[in-house]
Amino acid sequence: MSAMHQQHRYLAQIEALKSVANLVEVDEQTFRMLLRSHEQPTIVVGESGFWRFKRHTYLTTYDGFVFCLRSPTALDLKAEAPSAFLVSAKAVTIPFL
């Protein structure tokens, strides 16, 4: 591997770590409160984990942070965000440190 390639790889890893610093895992009540605070929130819905440890994962943003909720069951969030923009992801990978 060339020195230039290693440097680009290192810089990509630094950028990835910076984005993780803005990731906040919250409980269901807090996540619902965040959704109610937006008129038209964007919600990414997918699954994370493996096999019997799979969780329904929900992501939304607020004030520069990405908020994450992981739940063992699917949630109905229509009451909190009736006009939300839902993004259905095949899978969600969250690099918790």
**Res. 20 pLDDT band, cuts 50 70 90:** low
Look at residue 30 and tell me whether its pLDDT is greater than 90.
yes
Please give the average per-residue pLDDT across 82-94, as a whole number.
87
Q: For Cα atoms 5, 8, 13, give the angle at the middle one, nearest 5 degrees.
A: 125
Task: Give the domains, in start order, of the chain with CATH numbers.
Answer: 23-97 (3.30.720.90)
SS3 2: coil
Identity of the amino acid at 88: S
Instruction: Name, in order, each residue with C-beta under 8 angstroms of 77's C-beta and a sequence gap of 6 or more.
Output: 32, 35, 43, 58, 84
Q: What's the rounded Cα separation, in Å, for the pair 35 and 48?
A: 21
Is this model's pTM higher than 0.75 or not? no
Any alpha helices (H) in 1-81, and if so which ranges? 3-20, 28-36
Nearest alpha carbon to residue 94 among 52, 59, 43, 42: 59
pLDDT of amino acid 97: 46
